[in-house]
A and B are shown apart, each in its own frame.
Chain A
Amino acid sequence: MSSIAIPGIKARTGATDRSDSLRPLALAAPLLLLLAFSFGAPIVLLLSRAVYEPTIANTLPQTIAALRADSGAGVPGEPVFRAFAADLKAAQAGGTIYEFAKTLNTRLPGARSQVLRLARLAGQDPAATKEAIIKAAPLLGEDQGWAAIRSGTNRFTSFFLLSAFDLRWTDQGTIGAVPSAQAVFTRVFGRTFLIATLVTLATLALAFPLAYVMTNVRPVIAGIVLVLVLLPFWTSILVRTAAWTVILQKYGLLNDLLLWLGVTSDRIELMYSRTGLIIAMTHIQLPFTLLPIYSVMRAVQPSQLRAAQSLGGRPFTVFRRVYLPQVMPGVLAGCLLTFILCLGYYITPVLIGGASDQLISNFIANYVNVELNWEMAAALSFVLLASTLGLYVTMTRYLGLDLFKMG
């Protein structure tokens, strides 16, 4: 190739290059803008609560000032206590005392009732002494009480994110594990990822051969199978879960069948067990793994396989070297969808899983709806989002499994 530059041509290629990278971006722009507006903004705003919690700082302006003047750690001196009582009195009058008590209770279990008692006392006796205050609220006589208040006065907090990993700031200012009786989340995250992996593998084992057969039978039969695959979509997940209850329960259809066939001699417990949960989740997820695989398999040219075979390739070699690489994007797409959807399950685990089969979304939903602790829900969601995206990026980077780069 000669390296003579022809100005006109170079300029034209340059222009094409730019439009080449602008055009794909323009195609994606409408969805990106829609997502930024109707998903990105709301979620960023909500997830920011994981690190931003201003209630304590807003309630305790005088205490913060007094703490600044009070040097040293641990239980502070008389002026801080007096400022604290004054802040509580103001909060009582302003009607924000309950919210403050609840927020502090999250960081300092048992603080709620003591703070409320103290607020009533501060209302009656404005000149309450340190001694009287500690008597009403014993937690304020302890180092851990003031450690919680001091950390709470900072509007930006790492408390919730640390809690999501079962960690906390110790009284000594280091990061340590929470007591094992309260440690839940690392175990639940592990369980969630484990169940999602098992279900994904199970759907793949079921869906791949079926999709393969569907591409190799007469169109009429393939059509009927496709209808059967799509039928579940018309049935609410609640109905499908209820149906699995009917099948799996002790006096249910499956146990009846197994007994009748003589496979088992006694009724087996499938409800409220992990096995039952995985059976039901695999069923619900099967179409999500199957359809992407099927749609990619349909595009494979049979002539290529025949060519490979006629060139002497053994069936397995042809399958591995020619067929599999072509359908891999479909497999990845299907597995990715199923894996991610499994992370978000929470109705099915409630109705079919046992107490130790609850997934992370059950806990997040509980924090949102029941405990009204949106900060903790935001922190757990952030950890889930970050770890899933991290997993995705790692997979694409080190295993070369990019959905959009194959073929």
Chain B
Amino acid sequence: MLSPYPTTAERIRVAALWIWCVLVLIYLVVPIFVPVPLSFNSGSFFTFPLAGVSTRWYEVVLGTARWRAAIGNSLLIGLGATVLATLLGTLTAIGLSDPKFPARRFVVPLLISPLIVPVVVTAVGTYLFYARIGLANTYFGIILAHTVLASPFVVVTVGASLSGFDRNLMRATSILGAKPLTGFLRVMLPMILPGVLSGAAFAFVTSFDEVVVAQFLANAQQRTLPLEMFTGLREQLSPAITAAATLMMGLSILLLIVANLLARRSRQAGAPAE
């Protein structure tokens, strides 16, 4: 970040940038970890200091079939919607980035409108329509509705990462005799992958945190994690939701570490012996 021979002014600028980033990270992370100690609260309120330490909320989340089923449902629906939205959204973004795409000025706004229509209106409209064609109260119906909500994220992020992509590269691959699919997999995909994966992450969280559409489309068997969290809110904001959040975070951190280790090992195994 520093040039080889930094001036004082440059040093100050870089130091300020670093301090700023650390502050941003603190702002980003602290609220995420605040619920962690609360999840061990023996009382049922969201306040510090804790009434006492207990694992009762973890017993609620892990010990009841309802919560386990809800986590399973959420992951299943989230995965389905992510795969569908990422696949279709990436294809669409690639199509749109082609200068020859017809009437793009009108197509792009249509593609992002699922983000704009208030989700409660989408939920009612979808329910009225899906119920008539037998898609209400089905896993497929919920996945389909979530795919709709998630697809704009993929289109927009992949579109942004395609903006820097030089189309001449694709022309070069085809001149060199590569099939379009090979060209895509070998040349285009690696370059736009960060965008595709950011889009996939957005798609997943859209589904994983979506409560309104699920409220209308899901029945008791398809109850998702956010639905379970909202249940009973009228009576009580249960600390069980902080326990569930802590578990999900712990799980994702654990998986990251394991995968990192695996990746390092496979890299070592695959490295040529010297």
Contact = CB atoms under 8 A, between A and B. Distances in A.
Verify that A and B bind, or say they do not: yes
Interface of A: 17, 20-21, 23-28, 30-32, 34-35, 38-43, 45-47, 206-207, 209-210, 212-213, 216, 225, 227-240, 242-247, 253, 283, 286, 288, 291-292, 294-296, 298-300, 309, 315, 326, 329-330, 332-334, 336-337, 340-341, 343-344, 346, 360-361, 364-365, 368-369, 374, 377-378, 381, 384-385, 388-389, 392-393, 396-397, 403-407
A300 B117 CA distance: 34
B111 A35 contact: yes
A340 B117 CA distance: 10
B28 A28 contact: no
Interface string B112-127: 1111111111101110
Contact of A329 (B117, B145, B160, B209): B160
A240 B144 contact: no
What are the 10 closest A-B residue pairs judged by CB atoms, nearest first?
A27-B95, A295-B194, A46-B125, A42-B129, A333-B160, A24-B98, A42-B125, A24-B95, A329-B163, A28-B95
A232 B129 contact: no
A213 B17 contact: yes
A291 B32 contact: no
B40 to A, nearest CB: 14
Contacts of A381: 117-118, 121
A236 B128 contact: no
A283 B198 contact: no
B148 A39 contact: yes
B121 A31 contact: no
Contact of A43 (B38, B104, B121, B233): B121
A343 B245 contact: no
Nearest to B2: A216
B20 A209 contact: yes
Nearest to B13: A315
Interface of B: 1, 3, 10, 17-18, 20-21, 24-25, 27-32, 34-35, 38, 46-48, 88-89, 91-102, 104-105, 107-122, 124-126, 128-130, 144-145, 147-148, 151-153, 155-157, 159-165, 191, 194-195, 197-198, 201-202, 204-205, 208-209, 211, 225-226, 229-230, 233, 237, 241-242, 244-245, 248-249, 251-253, 256
B226 A236 contact: yes
A399 to B, nearest CB: 14
A146 B110 CA distance: 41
A368 B46 contact: no
Contact of A26 (B29, B95, B107, B112): B95
Contacts of A230: 201, 252
Given A35-B151, A309-B3, A385 B116 contact: yes
Contacts of A397: 105
Given A38-B145, A233-B208, A246 B38 contact: yes
Given A38-B148, A227-B256, A344 B105 contact: no
A270 to B, nearest CB: 13
Which of B25, B152, B164, B204 has most chain A Cβ within 10 Å? B164
Contacts of B46: 242, 245-246
A288 B157 CA distance: 10
A336 B156 contact: yes
B163 A45 contact: no
Contact of A364 (B27, B111, B121, B164): B121
